[in-house]
Amino acid sequence: MNRRMYKEFNEVIYSETLKNGLTVKIIPKREYSSVYTVLFADYGSNDHVIRLSGDSDAKTYPFGVAHFLEHKLFESEEGDISEVFSSQGASVNAFTSNTKTAFMCSFTRNVKKNIDTLLDFVQTPFFDEQSVEDEKNIITQEIQMYKDDPDWVSTQGLIENLYPNHPVRIDVAGTPDSVQQITTDMLRENHQTFYHPSNMQVIVVGNVDPEEASQWIFDNQEKKVYPAPLEIEHKETEEKDESIIKNREVHLPVNLPKVSVGVKGHSLGLTENQAFHQMICMEIILDLLFGETSLTYLNLYNENLIDDSFSYDYVFERGFDYVSIGGDSRSPEELARRIKDVLANASASPDLTPEHFSLIQKKLTGEYIQDLNSLGYIAHQFVDMPLQTLSIFDYLEVLETITFEELKNISLNYFQAEHLSVFTVLPRLK
């Protein structure tokens, strides 16, 4: 196994790629009593158009197959796999995002058995025709439920504004119509394509011996036979800025309006180092401009334009990136105007100073060191940033290389007026 040491954190990443293509990363933390394991595929809701190496034509599937497949993998001939984990002293969960599907479990005993169970249930699907039909109604109800959630509507509505022609505009679960089109054959085909070991990684963090855990995974994979991997062409959708919907609103049964201001990014084609660098830069910039130590935040709060629901985020995934800022407000139009004004003048903001930058750097350093105490946090960072040469343990080194002038330049170039959009949830009309 390859070893990469991080002496400043007393951490080591053991990694290797097995003959079948599965990437294995183990971070031993013998001082802990538990183990956190994640198995994930580079496959999410955006991957509904598939072109494999050697194929002349792409194949299109209904939206929602990735999420549907995640649900169905929990079924085995013996029943619900969650009960198996429970009997082995483990908890298990899963999620599907726009670009990834992940299955995670945590436990303090039966370490080998739980790792084997995780690998086996994800890699060995069981599809029953009737249960697939039954699942359609369950997922359709789930989709309808989210449509009644104002926070979800606000988040998804902003994404639809920024990317009106991109698959990210569609709910990860799909639509009621698309879910009804999903068949057992489609689930099987997508599993064979995207759940091939060459498109997956397993992350083990916690109280394990790395050589022993690696051998367990190797032995597990040796029992399984896979065809040669085919290169998957992830279809990227590039949208023109003029397609952005500048302003949209909906009415829901809410007490206070919700407003979200978004900025569409243009970060396709970045190298791994550039992407990691940009994510940290944007985290700093948003903290500088809208964090609790900023003049903007204090003014908006003192003027009752925002409350504790106010938040901001930078999302960077394969094929898209965007900034979102907002929350509940009694004056959504004024809050949107103020946020847009801050963004338009970000490079000259009174909050963008070397002194404030130094304060935010120290704040992020403290939060980062504290977060490293969580096994789940460490494991999920490898999922959120499935990098080849970098890892979450490189965060501090990159943070220290960022300059104030660099932040000013990014602020000037990223927050362009033509890239902005506003989505508002208003109380239902009486």
pLDDT at 429: 77
Number of DSSP helices (H) and strands (E) in the chain, helices first? 15, 17
Comparing 89-98, 150-159, 213-222, 239-248, the range with the smallest average pLDDT is 239-248
List the catalytic residue out of 70, 75, 160, 283. Answer: 70
Structure tokens at 237: 């959708």
The residue among 315, 318, 13, 371 whose CA lies nearest residue 159 is 315
Name the maximum alpha-carbon separation found in the chain.
66
pLDDT at 53: 67
Q: 3-class SS at 232?
A: strand
The residue among 158, 228, 175 whose CA lies nearest residue 65 is 175
DSSP for 351-383, please give it. Answer: T--HHHHHHHHHHHHHHHHHHTT-HHHHHHHHH
Domain extents in the chain: 2-234, 241-427
Indicate if 70 belongs to the active site. Answer: yes
pTM more than 0.85: yes
pLDDT at 430: 65
pLDDT at 236: 63
Architecture of domain 241-427: 2-Layer Sandwich (3.30)
The residue among 156, 48, 100 whose CA lies nearest residue 318 is 100
Average pLDDT over residues 288-306: 98
pLDDT at 92: 97
pLDDT at 50: 85
Question: Could you read off the pLDDT of 388-412 as tens digits, one per residue?
Answer: 889 999 999 999 999 999 999 999 9
The residue among 352, 351, 309 whose CA lies nearest residue 330 is 309
Structure tokens at 313: 């985020």
Where does the pLDDT of residue 76 fall: very low under 50, low under 70, confident under 90, or very high at 90 and above? confident
Please, what's the b/e burial string for 94-118 (b: 16 or more CB within 10 A of its CB; e: otherwise)?
Answer: bbbbbbbbbbbbbbeebbebbbbbb
Architecture of domain 2-234: 2-Layer Sandwich (3.30)
Where does the pLDDT of residue 90 fall: very low under 50, low under 70, confident under 90, or very high at 90 and above? very high
Please indicate whether residue 21 or residue 231 has the higher confidence score (pLDDT). 21
Question: Could you read off the pLDDT of 187-246 as tens digits, one per residue?
Answer: 999 999 999 999 999 999 999 999 999 999 999 999 999 988 878 877 666 666 679 999
